[in-house]
Structure 1
Amino acid sequence: MSGQPNRIVIVGRDAALWLSATVLRRALAPAGISVVAIELPTDLGPASAYASLPPLEALHNKLGLEESALLRATGGSFSLGHNVVGLASGTRPFLLAHGSYGAPIDGGGFFPYWLKARRFGLEAAFEDFCLTAMAARQGRMLLPDEETQLFGRTDYGYHLPSLPYVATLKARAAKLGIAVHHSGTIDVERQNETGSISAIRLDDERRVEGDLFVDASGPEGILIGQMPGLGRDDWHSAFVTDRRLTARAARFASVPAYAEIRAGASGWTALHATQAATYISYAFASAEQDDESALAAAGTLAGLTLSDPVAASVEQGMRHQAWSANCVAIGSAACSFDPLFDVELHAIQLGIVHLLALFPAGATFTAERNEYNRITRSAFERVRDFQSAFYAANRFGPTGFWGAARGATTPATVGHKLAIFRARGDIAPMEDESFAPDLWQALFTGLGETPESWPPAIDRTAPERMKDDFRRILGFIKRKVLEQPTHDGYLANLGRSEAA
C-alpha cells in the first residue's frame, strides 16, 4: 500500500459490524475511501437486546437515524439510568441516572454540601437532587429546555431489541452504498514479511482485498486473534461472573424509563423494558449455579415467566493491542466486559470514534496506531473500573456470589478511587473516563459508602445558605418533573406520529 488507506474491509456481525460500516462510510466517503462489509452469521436470538449509554444518541444523529423512526421500527424505549435493587435486608434502592446530581452551591460542587448536610440530619437522598433520577422514578421522560440545560446534564439511553435494531443499521448501510458480502467462514491472507493482512478469502473462494481491516467479529476476534505476537490481559480475577443467561418475557403494562438491576443471593438480574417485550439478563458464577438453576433464579428475581433462554460464557479482558499492523479490533473483538451496566455498544462506539480521530493520513501510521492503542486501553480500563467498583463495594450479601465479589482482586485504580472517596468524598480524576464524577459518587453512596469528612473550604458557607439552596433545587426538580410527559405517553405519541 502506498499513500492513505483507500479501502476498508470490515469483518464482523451484528451491531459492531453495521455501526462500524455506516459510521466509517459516512465520515470517509468524501475523502474517496470505500468501505466493504463482510457479514458473518449472527450471534443474536429473539431474547437479545441492546441497552445503550447516552453517547449513542449523538452517533445516531451523525448517521441520520431519526430517533422516533428508530424506536417505532425496533419497539425500543428510553432509559434514564439504572435502578439498583438489593434484595438483602438493609439495602435501599438507588438510581444511577444519566444526568447530573445537584447544582453548585456558593460557587462550589454540590456533593460536599449534601454530604455535610446528611451528617447533620438531612433526609433527602443524593438522587433526590437529580432531575433525571426523579423523572425516572415518576415514570416520565425528560425533555430538555433552557431551564434544564442551565441546571445541569440531562441525558438518556435506549433499550433496543437487537434483531430489528441491527436490521435498521443494515438498511442504513444499504442506503449509503456499502458493498456487502456474506460468508459463513473466512480465511485470512497475511504478508509474511510485515504480518499485515492483504486479503480475506470467503467460503465461496472469492477474495476481498483491502488496505485497512476492521475486526468486528465479537469476542473470538477472527482477524485480530491471528495477528502475530498478540496476547490478552485477563480481568477475570476482578470479577466473579463467568456465565450469563438471557431470556425475554411479556412487556410491562407500563414501560419503566430505566433499566433495573436486582441483586439476588447468587447473582444479579437486569430487566430492560421495551414496547415489545421485557428482556432479561442474569449474571452468575458457574461454580455456584448450573444453567438450569440459573434460569430458575432469573425468573424468580424478575418475577416473570421467561422464554427463549440462552446461556453463554463471560470472559472479561482486553487484547494487548486493539490495532496491530493494518488490523483494528472494534468492540468485544478488542475488549470483553462484564455484563454489568450495558457497556457493549459504548465500547463499540469508543473504538469507532477513536479510529476516525486517528485515521491514517499516509502509508506509515505507527504513531496513529500507538496512540489508538494507548487511548483505547485507558478508556476501556476506566469502564472496567466502574464495573469493578460496584462489586468491590457491594453490601448485597455476606457470602456466596457477593462475598466472592468483594474478595476479588480489585484493580489498583479502583482501590485508589475508593480510598479517596472514603476519606473526603472526592472522586480521583483520571483520563478517558466514560462516567462523570457525580455518577461515581452516586454509585458509592448508593452502595452505602460514607466519607469520613469533606473539603474544609465548604465550612465557610452559612448553614442557612445551604438550606435555601437545597430547597431551591428540590423545588425546581419537582416543578420540572411534573411538566414532563409520561414515558408511556411519549412512546405512544411516537406510534401515533407514524400513523399521521
Structure 2
Amino acid sequence: MMPPPCGRVVVVGRDAALWLATNVIRTALAPAGVTVTAVELPSRLEPADVHATLPPLEALHNQLRIEEAALLRAVGGAFTLGQNFADAGGAEPAFLHAYGAYGTAIDNQDFFAYWLKARGLGLPVGLEDFSLTAAAARQGRLLIPDDETEKYGRSDYGYHLPAAAYVRSLKGLAVHDGVTIHAADAIEVLRDGDRIEALAFDGQRIEGDLFVDATGEGLLIDALGTERESWRSYFPGDRMLVASGPKFGSIPAYAEIRAGSGGWTGLYPSQARSHVVHVYASSLCSDEEARRDAAENSGLALTDVDIQAVDPGMRTKAWAGNCVAIGAAAATFDPIHNVELHAVQLGLIHLLAFYPAGSDFSAERAEYNRLMRSSFERIRDFQAVHYRLNPYAGSAFWAQARQGDASPELAHTIALFQARGEIAPYEDESFSPDSWRTFFIGHGLVPDSYLPPIDRTPPETMKAQFRTMLGFVKEQVLRQPTHDAYLQTIARRGNG
C-alpha cells in the first residue's frame, strides 16, 4: 500500500487534548497507513481540575472503544444531566439547562409554541417540567434512554471526569495501541517557509507531514505567525479559581452554577470530591476576596486552591501551513459551559472530514478554517447569553456583564426569539434550539407572540397532550435508578 501524502502525523501537546487527538487520529487513519507520533509536554493540571463534558463526548468514547462503566470506575467520575443556574442570594429563580428535549410535538408542531400559548393563558407549569432529563436531575436520578423515552424526545448526558485520572486513562489507551511517544520539557519548531519541517528537543529531531498543535497556548501555530482575536469584550471574568471540596453525601446528577455578587461559582460533583470553579473579574475583586467568595458561595471548605487567568479568544486560522491547532490552541472559551473538550472534539471531527488527500491541501485548509470559525463563534454567542441577559441586580460584576458585546448573529437570535419564540437557524451550532430556549426563558426573556399555526389545535387537545406529557415524565422518571445507585452498580461490576 502506498503511504498517503500526509502519512506522518506528529501530535504535540499536553493533557486531554494531546491524548484525545492522538487516539482519534490513530483510530481513524491507521488503517489508511497514517502513522501517529505523540510528543508530550509537561502537564498543567491541578488536583482539583475536572472535565465537565457535553453529551457528544460519549459518542467519541465509543469510537475509541472506551467502555463507559470502566472509565467511570477508573477515574471516579459521575454523570451529569445538565447545569442548574441559581442565584446564590436567592433573589432570582433557578433554572436547569438539561441535556435533552423539552416536551414533544403536538399536531406535528413544535411543543415550545404550545407551551408559550398556555403560559400566556396562565399555565403554572414550568418548561423544565416537560423535560425527562430535567425532571430526573431534580430527583437525583439518571435518565437511561430507551425506545419509549426516545419517542418522547432526546435524552442526553455528560460526565464529570477528574482531569488527571482521565488523562492517565487516555494515555494508557495510546500506550496500549503502540503509539510512539516522546516526552519533552520544551520544543523548537523548525520551519521551511510557511510549513513546519520538524521539531527539535533533547537532541532529537522529529519530522512529519502534518503537525497537530494540542499545546493549549499554541506553540506550533504561533511559530507560523498566526494571529489571535480576543473575545475579552464579550465576557466579564478574567480570573478563575479552581479548588476541591468534600464530596456530597448523595452525588447530584447535575452541576450547579451559583451567581454571587463577585462572579459565579460552579460545583461539579464526582465520586471522591466536589470540584469547585469560581470566575471573577480582577478589576473588581482581589484573589483573596475571590477565595472567600468561592468558599461562601459553595458552602464548602476548600483545598487544592489554584488561580489562573481566563482569556477567551480564537486564532484567525486554526489550520496554517501544515499545522492544525486543536482545542485551546485554536480557541479558548469562557468556563461557563465547560466546552473545552467539545472544542477539541469539533476540531478532530472536521480534521478527519477534510484530511489531506493530496500534497496541495489549500482547499481543505480553507474549508476547515471556515467551519471552525463558524463553530467557535456559535459557541461564544451561546455562552454570552448568560452574561448579556443576566437578571442579577446589585452587583458590579453582573452589571458589567450586561454591557458585554453581542455579535450581529446573537443580536438577531435574541430579537427573533423575543418577537415570536423562534431560534434563528445557523450552521455549525453545538447547542440545540431547546438549549437556546431554556436559556432565554431562564433569563426572563419571554417572547411577545407564538407561531400562529398552533391556533388550529383545539384547546382541549392541547390540554390533554400536556396532561399526557406530564404523566409520562413522572412515570418514566420514577422508573429510573438514582444516580448513587447506578454508580454503586458500576463499582460492583468492577469488583465482581
TM bin, normalised by shorter chain, reads over 0.9
Q: Secondary structure at the match of 2:244?
A: strand
Task: Tell me which residue corresponds to 2:113.
Answer: 112
Q: Aligned pair 1:184/2:185, yes or no?
A: yes
| Alpha-carbon offset, residue 47 of structure 1 | 0.9
Measure, in 2, the Cα distance between the counterparts of 1:338 and 1:441. Answer: 20
Q: Aligned pair 1:201/2:200, yes or no?
A: yes
Preserved CA contact (<8 Å) 2:13 2:40: yes
Q: Secondary structure at the match of 1:223?
A: helix
User: Which residue among 213, 219, 225 is the counterpart of 2:211?
Assistant: 213
Task: Tell me which residue corresponds to 2:169.
Answer: 168
Q: Aligned pair 1:254/2:253, yes or no?
A: no
1:311-344, CA deviations, whole angstroms, 9 ceiling, x for partnerless residues? Answer: 1111111000000000000000000100111000
Preserved CA contact (<8 Å) 1:213 1:328: yes
Q: Which amino acid aligns with 2:57?
A: L
Preserved CA contact (<8 Å) 2:53 2:159: yes
Unmatched 5+ stretches in structure 2: none
Preserved CA contact (<8 Å) 1:87 1:396: no
Q: Which amino acid aligns with 2:184?
A: S
Q: Aligned pair 1:322/2:331, yes or no?
A: no
Q: Which amino acid aligns with 1:497?
A: R
Q: Secondary structure at the match of 2:266?
A: strand
What does residue range 377-388 of structure 1 map to in structure 2 within 5 Å? Answer: 377-388=373-384
Measure, in 2, the Cα distance between the counterparts of 1:453 and 1:407. Answer: 27
| Alpha-carbon offset, residue 176 of structure 1 | 1.2
Task: Tell me which residue corresponds to 2:487.
Answer: 491
Measure, in 1, the Cα distance between the counterparts of 2:410 and 2:300. Answer: 35
| Alpha-carbon offset, residue 452 of structure 1 | 0.7
1:366-397, CA deviations, whole angstroms, 9 ceiling, x for partnerless residues? Answer: 01100000001100111001100111111012
Q: Aligned pair 1:420/2:419, yes or no?
A: no
Q: Which amino acid aligns with 2:76?
A: G
What does residue range 138-153 of structure 1 map to in structure 2 within 5 Å? Answer: 138-153=139-154
Measure, in 2, the Cα distance between the counterparts of 1:20 and 1:3. Answer: 19
Measure, in 1, the Cα distance between the counterparts of 2:45 and 2:434. Answer: 35
| Alpha-carbon offset, residue 414 of structure 1 | 1.3
Measure, in 1, the Cα distance between the counterparts of 2:490 and 2:66. Answer: 15
1:269-304, CA deviations, whole angstroms, 9 ceiling, x for partnerless residues? Answer: 110000011000001000011111101100100000
Task: Tell me which residue corresponds to 1:5.
Answer: 6
Q: Which amino acid aligns with 1:33?
A: V
Q: Which amino acid aligns with 1:361?
A: A
Preserved CA contact (<8 Å) 1:394 1:447: yes
What does residue range 333-482 of structure 1 map to in structure 2 within 5 Å? Answer: 333-482=329-478
Q: Which amino acid aligns with 2:183?
A: H
Measure, in 1, the Cα distance between the counterparts of 2:239 and 2:336. Answer: 12
1:349-382, CA deviations, whole angstroms, 9 ceiling, x for partnerless residues? Answer: 0001110111011111001100000001100111
Q: Which moved more, 1:289-298 or 1:322-331?
A: 289-298
| Alpha-carbon offset, residue 175 of structure 1 | 1.1
Q: Aligned pair 1:84/2:85, yes or no?
A: yes
Measure, in 2, the Cα distance between the counterparts of 1:347 and 1:198. Answer: 27
Preserved CA contact (<8 Å) 2:4 2:34: no
Q: Which amino acid aligns with 2:118?
A: A
Preserved CA contact (<8 Å) 2:84 2:96: yes
| Alpha-carbon offset, residue 398 of structure 1 | 4.1
Task: Tell me which residue corresponds to 1:242.
Answer: 238
Q: 1:51 to 1:89 in 2, by over 3 A?
A: closer
- Count of matched residue pairs: 494
Q: Which amino acid aligns with 1:210?
A: G
Q: Which amino acid aligns with 1:325?
A: G
Q: Aligned pair 1:310/2:334, yes or no?
A: no
Q: Which amino acid aligns with 1:225?
A: D
User: Which residue among 246, 249, 267 is the counterpart of 1:271?
Assistant: 267
User: Which residue among 224, 237, 240 is the counterpart of 2:221?
Assistant: 224
Q: Which moved more, 1:93-102 or 1:3-12?
A: 3-12
Preserved CA contact (<8 Å) 1:88 1:397: no
Preserved CA contact (<8 Å) 2:4 2:33: no
Q: Which amino acid aligns with 1:177?
A: G
Preserved CA contact (<8 Å) 1:269 1:283: yes
Task: Tell me which residue corresponds to 2:287.
Answer: 291
Q: Secondary structure at the match of 1:155?
A: coil
Preserved CA contact (<8 Å) 2:4 2:32: no
| Alpha-carbon offset, residue 89 of structure 1 | 4.9
Measure, in 1, the Cα distance between the counterparts of 2:228 and 2:185. Answer: 26
Q: Which amino acid aligns with 1:337?
A: F
Preserved CA contact (<8 Å) 2:261 2:394: no
Q: Which amino acid aligns with 2:135?
A: M
| Alpha-carbon offset, residue 87 of structure 1 | 2.8
Task: Tell me which residue corresponds to 2:57.
Answer: 56
Find runs of 4+ consecutive structure 1 residues off by over 4 angstroms: none
| Alpha-carbon offset, residue 406 of structure 1 | 0.4
Q: Which amino acid aligns with 1:149?
A: E
Measure, in 2, the Cα distance between the counterparts of 1:398 and 1:429. Answer: 35
| Alpha-carbon offset, residue 88 of structure 1 | 4.3
Measure, in 1, the Cα distance between the counterparts of 2:365 and 2:280. Answer: 36
Output the TM-score relative to the length of structure 2.
Answer: 0.99
Task: Tell me which residue corresponds to 2:135.
Answer: 134
1:20-62, CA deviations, whole angstroms, 9 ceiling, x for partnerless residues? Answer: 0001001111011100000000010111111100000000011
Measure, in 1, the Cα distance between the counterparts of 2:405 and 2:65. Answer: 43
| Alpha-carbon offset, residue 3 of structure 1 | 5.6
Q: Which amino acid aligns with 2:267?
A: L
Preserved CA contact (<8 Å) 1:17 1:37: yes
Q: Which moved more, 1:392-401 or 1:297-306?
A: 392-401
Q: Which amino acid aligns with 1:269?
A: T
| Alpha-carbon offset, residue 416 of structure 1 | 1.0
Preserved CA contact (<8 Å) 2:149 2:155: yes
| Alpha-carbon offset, residue 499 of structure 1 | 1.0
Unmatched 5+ stretches in structure 1: none
Preserved CA contact (<8 Å) 1:80 1:133: yes
Output the TM-score relative to the length of structure 1.
Answer: 0.98
Measure, in 1, the Cα distance between the counterparts of 2:149 and 2:347. Answer: 31
Task: Tell me which residue corresponds to 1:33.
Answer: 34
| Alpha-carbon offset, residue 249 of structure 1 | 0.7
Measure, in 1, the Cα distance between the counterparts of 2:152 and 2:219. Answer: 47
Measure, in 2, the Cα distance between the counterparts of 1:89 and 1:20. Answer: 42
Preserved CA contact (<8 Å) 1:88 1:396: no
Measure, in 2, the Cα distance between the counterparts of 1:256 and 1:265. Answer: 25
| Alpha-carbon offset, residue 399 of structure 1 | 3.8
Preserved CA contact (<8 Å) 2:268 2:276: yes
| Alpha-carbon offset, residue 409 of structure 1 | 1.5
